[in-house]
Amino acid sequence: MSDLPLLEAAGLTVLLEVNGARRAVLRDVSLTLRPGEAVGLVGESGSGKSMTARAIARLLPSRAEVHGSIRFGGTDVGGLAGADLRRYRSQVAMIFQDPRAHVNPVRRIGDFLTEALRTNHAVPRAEARRRAVDMLARVGIEDGARRLRQYPHQMSGGMLQRIMIASALLTGPRLLLADEPTTALDVTTQAEVMAILDGLRRQSGLAMLFITHDLELAAAICDRTAVMYAGQIAEIRASSLLHGDPLHPYTAALAAARPDITQTLHRLRAIPGRPLSAFEAPAGECAFAPRCPHVADVCRAAVPDLVQLDGGVSRCARAHELRGHLRAVPDA
């Protein structure tokens, strides 16, 4: 694992036009991924997780205004066009939340799996099909040859998501963007798909940006986890430390809101208030201030900067002060 970052987003700010008004959906997002590293991206709905992935894949709406930079292996992604953009994208694979929506419903699975190989990598048809069957076997689909002849509607959701994983890995990408790949699946299928995704990722040394609502899932499979709130990064921390030693009150509150299998709780601890979208966040103060139990005058004075702390990053004005007091697991 080299220390040169594979992907480096710096000061990424995205504005979208909604009803004639420009609204920020991402504000000053900075994130790095080293080759082979898995980084989790967690947060509530509307916190900007998917937008970050879309910005990296250059899938933002055409009228989006983008500030800041995204560099992939040293090249600036924002300036790519035409063949260069396609070459970049063939090194970045994306897995989506709803596999059924992301496959052309009137084409066979075989066409779907082999299309990128045949058109972008000039692999002959028979060879492409052979590779597709091999890859299907690796994601746990044994009768690949028959599956290639089927249509998406003949598959279950879990099966289709495994096919999406196979498709993402077939072209040998360097970065995998997984946008809530298991959210649409039922719990037992989720575990299976996650195990396959995690195993294959480690085998092929692929870097992954893993987007999820699920703090524990991210912590389990990612080296580092970034927590987003209102279009900003609240905290980036080694996954193993995120739970026991969070650096941002929001992370602590999120973790405390999860039911714990070892404890009987009569009421889950909710975070007071409701999640804000980036454009709703109050200007000139910490976005989490209205909901934060540790709010102080310093939080209202300015938007906090990202502070480096113990190998992690936190956007909390009182991060140093609160260190050690933000216990995620509530004392019984």
In the complex, the smallest distance separating the C-beta of residue 64 from another protein, rounded to whole angstroms, is 12
Nearer to another protein, 73 or 275 (CB): 73
Is residue 274 a contact point for another protein (CB under 8 A)?
Answer: no
Contact of 234 with 227, CB cutoff 8 Å:
yes
Is residue 93 a contact point for another protein (CB under 8 A)?
Answer: yes
Between helices 125-138 and 157-170, what is the axis angle to 10°? 120
Between helices 157-170 and 187-204, what is the axis angle to 10°? 10
Positions in 57-76 near another protein (CB under 8 A): 57, 59, 62-63
How many other C-beta atoms are found inside a 10 Å radius of the C-beta of residue 216? 15
User: What is the SS3 assignment for 106?
Assistant: coil
Is residue 107 a contact point for another protein (CB under 8 A)?
Answer: yes
Binding mask 303-322 for another protein (x = CB under 8 A): --------------------
CA gap 221, 194 in Å, rounded: 9
Task: Out of 67, 80, 115, 291, point to the residue binding another protein (CB under 8 A).
Answer: 115
Work out whether the CA dihedral 83, 84, 85, 89 comes out positive or negative.
Answer: positive
Task: Out of 30, 32, 69, 150, point to the residue binding another protein (CB under 8 A).
Answer: 150
In the complex, the smallest distance separating the C-beta of residue 283 from another protein, rounded to whole angstroms, is 30
CA angle, residues 88, 91, 94, in degrees to nearest 5 = 105
Task: Out of 17, 18, 65, 86, point to the residue binding another protein (CB under 8 A).
Answer: 86
Phi-psi region of 328 (alpha: psi -120 to 50; beta: other; left: phi over 0): alpha
Task: Out of 65, 76, 142, 154, point to the residue binding another protein (CB under 8 A).
Answer: 154
Task: Out of 119, 156, 203, 308, point to the residue binding another protein (CB under 8 A).
Answer: 119
Is residue 89 a contact point for another protein (CB under 8 A)?
Answer: yes
Is residue 183 a contact point for another protein (CB under 8 A)?
Answer: no
DSSP labels, 44-74: STTSSHHHHHHHHTT-S-TT-EEEEEEEETT
Taking CB under 8 A as the binding criterion, the range among 91-99, 132-140, 246-254, 286-294 that sits at the site for another protein is 91-99
Is residue 106 a contact point for another protein (CB under 8 A)?
Answer: yes
Nearer to another protein, 116 or 317 (CB): 116
Residues recorded for the chain:
332
